[in-house]
Structure 1
Amino acid sequence: MKFPFSDEPNTATIVCCHVLEKNEPILFASHDEDDGMWQFLCGHTHETDEARIISLLAAFEIDPSIGELKDMPCGYYATRESIEDHWIVNKIHSNEGDLNE
């Protein structure tokens, strides 16, 4: 599958250690409004030390279904219950969009 994002493949992206180690699927994604950074998390509560920085391409290689979010604007997040479910996209409110989702 071709890399679908308009961001460069080497764009710094946050994932949690659970996703990086492939112990948990990506069930939460955000495109932060303040810096445009992408986050792809397992959907559980996290401590800051569980965050990892990888390239957007590496995140896409872990789970190509995140490509469905390629047009999600900054300031939005998406969730799903399982990898078989469709993404549900919502606008981030001021107290959302961090590693504690």
Structure 2
Amino acid sequence: MTMREWKFADSPSAVVYTTRRVVERMDWIAYAFHDADDGAWQFHGSSTEAKESDAMVIRLESALDLDDSLSELADLPLGWRAWRKSKDSEWQRAPSEA
């Protein structure tokens, strides 16, 4: 882990759900979810072709090592989502649909 100011209320070792393509840096993170039911984080790539077999569980600090712009989402409320059109775009936010 690189030295950075930790902005999340969650521990650096908190569980994050993502995909193999994101972890292997074959895709960039385009969608983020902060689940209302269990507080889990999900970070998904731009590809909509992900299969269940592509699912991976990593640590929150590992996700930030992949993309440090995720620190901008540290205050994303439970039950909200964020997205961006490109890796360099600003994050947009809204409540997740039920």
**Unmatched segments (≥5 aa) in structure 1:** 95-101
Q: TM-score, normalised by structure 1?
A: 0.88
- Is 2:51 aligned against 1:60? no
Structure 1: how far apart are the matches of 2:62 and 2:7? 13
Q: Percent identity?
A: 33
Counterpart in the other structure of 1:97: none
Aligned with 1:34 (options 20, 32, 37): 37
Structure 2: how far apart are the matches of 1:67 and 1:85? 14
- Is 2:63 aligned against 1:49? no
Alignment of structure 1 residues 1-101 onto 2, 5 Å? 1-45=4-48, 46-94=50-98
**Unmatched segments (≥5 aa) in structure 2:** none
Would you say how many aligned residue pairs link Structure 1 and Structure 2? 94
Do the aligned partners of 1:3 and 1:60 also contact (CA within 8 Å) in 2? no
Structure 2: how far apart are the matches of 1:89 and 1:43? 16
Q: TM-score, normalised by structure 2?
A: 0.91
Structure 1: how far apart are the matches of 2:46 and 2:80? 15
**Dislocated runs of 4+, deviation >2 Å:** 43-46
Shift of 1:44: 2.6
